[in-house]
Amino acid sequence: MIYITTLILISSIVTKDDNKGITKMEVENFKIYGKSSIGKNAIIGERVMIGYPAADILKIAASSGKSLDDMEFKGAVIGDNAVIRSNSTIYADVQIGNNLRTGHNILIREKTKIGNDVLIGTNTIIDGHTTIGNNVSIQGNVYIPLNVTIEDKVFIGPCAVLTNDKYPVRKKTDLPGPILRRGASIGANATLLPEVEIGEGAMVAAGALVSKDVPPWKLAVGFPAKIIELPEELKILNNI
């Protein structure tokens, strides 16, 4: 059941400067920062923050004593028909297409680009500098670090963890994240080590630890994952 009093339906495009169509109560329910815009027919839950600035802008605000509301900076741009559930935060310098749907309490950090028809489950963290294609389904509690590429029609199961730092706080690296090619599927609780490439249509089993590239249309199973044949009937593109 949806408690409509906790959701705001916005039928026209909204930016920070033209909140005229929204009542005071509604504006207080969520916050838009910087030059952000949300397309038509958005449904936005309580305590959602859109266009929240990264550390550089926060430092300028703190040192100048200015309110973030009085500062000009690049916001988040979100397309039409977005459903963004309560307590979610989308940073400034994020671009998202149409038909975004999120669970509660998701985080999308700066310099993330997301296509159309993307689902992001509750508590998922997208830590920024990442590109996500169209028709992608990311379930709850997924961790996506900096520098990840996720192509169209990818499915990521709950609690999957992607990594980008092979020797954390011991060696300096460029933090290369995994690359998930078109139509790849990642099982629940899988861990992908930095820089691995999951090939087109490949599948990663639940709980697998993927330390090497997975060729297209193969199955990676186990800890560490071994590559085996994907059953013939699974050699079809994800229906997302």
Q: In the complex, which residues of this chain contact ligand COA (CB under 6 A)?
A: 157, 187-188, 203, 205-207, 221-222, 231
* Residue 180 CB neighbour total at 10 angstroms: 30
CB closer to ligand COA out of 106 and 203: 203
Query: Please, which residues have CB within 8 angstroms of residue 17's CB and are 6 or more apart in sequence?
Result: none
Verify cis geometry, omega within 30 degrees of 0, for the bond prior to 224: yes
CB closer to ligand COA out of 96 and 190: 190
Query: Please, which residues have CB within 8 angstroms of residue 4's CB and are 6 or more apart in sequence?
Result: none
22 within 8 A of 38, measured Cβ to Cβ: no
Task: Find the shortest distance in angstroms from Cβ 203 to ligand COA.
Answer: 6
Task: Find the shortest distance in angstroms from Cβ 116 to ligand COA.
Answer: 22
d(CA 57, CA 6): 30
CB closer to ligand COA out of 175 and 196: 196
CB closer to ligand COA out of 65 and 231: 231
Alpha helices in the chain (DSSP H): 24-29, 55-64
CB closer to ligand COA out of 145 and 187: 187
Task: Find the shortest distance in angstroms from Cβ 102 to ligand COA.
Answer: 18
CA distances 171 to 111, 144, 148, 175, 197, Å, are 24, 20, 20, 10, 22
Task: Find the shortest distance in angstroms from Cβ 160 to ligand COA.
Answer: 8
* 43: three-class secondary structure by DSSP: strand
CA distances 52 to 31, 74, 109, Å, are 9, 10, 9
Task: Find the shortest distance in angstroms from Cβ 87 to ligand COA.
Answer: 23
Label the pairing between strands 185-186 and 83-84: unpaired
Rounded to 5°, angle at Cα 64 from 59 and 69: 80
CB closer to ligand COA out of 36 and 191: 191
Task: Find the shortest distance in angstroms from Cβ 74 to ligand COA.
Answer: 35
